[in-house]
Amino acid sequence: MLPFLGSLPKKKAEEMVPRNTMMWRKSSFCSDNACVEVAFDGDVVALRDGKNPNLAELRFTRTEWVEFVRGVEKDEFRPF
């Protein structure tokens, strides 16, 4: 299990925090607002555009997010 996901409490969909009260984070490497932001809410991982935070976010399950992060760490998304 990835360490940043291990201690998150699980929530049912109806208990999800409204998007305007979610705690959004971005990389410490981000020098401007042109970065993707992420928020965790129980079994939901939400992503949004840091430049346009009022647009709809993408939502993934915790499992989908873990698999995506593992793929990035393994460099599985190279086009060639």
In a domain? residue 69: yes
Domain presence at residue 24: no
Q: Reduce the DSSP state of residue 23 to 3 states and report it.
A: coil
Residues 66/2, Cβ–Cβ less than 8 Å: yes
How many CB atoms sit inside 10 A of residue 57's CB? 19
- Tally of domains in the chain: 1
pLDDT band at 44; cut points 50, 70, 90: very high
User: pTM here?
Assistant: 0.66
- Please state the φ and ψ torsions of residue 15, each to the nearest 5 degrees: -100, 5
Range of the domain at 59: 1-8+36-75
At 78, is the pLDDT very low, low, confident or very high (cuts 50, 70, 90)?
confident
CA distance linking residue 52 with residue 62, whole number of Å: 24
68 within a domain of the structure (yes/no): yes
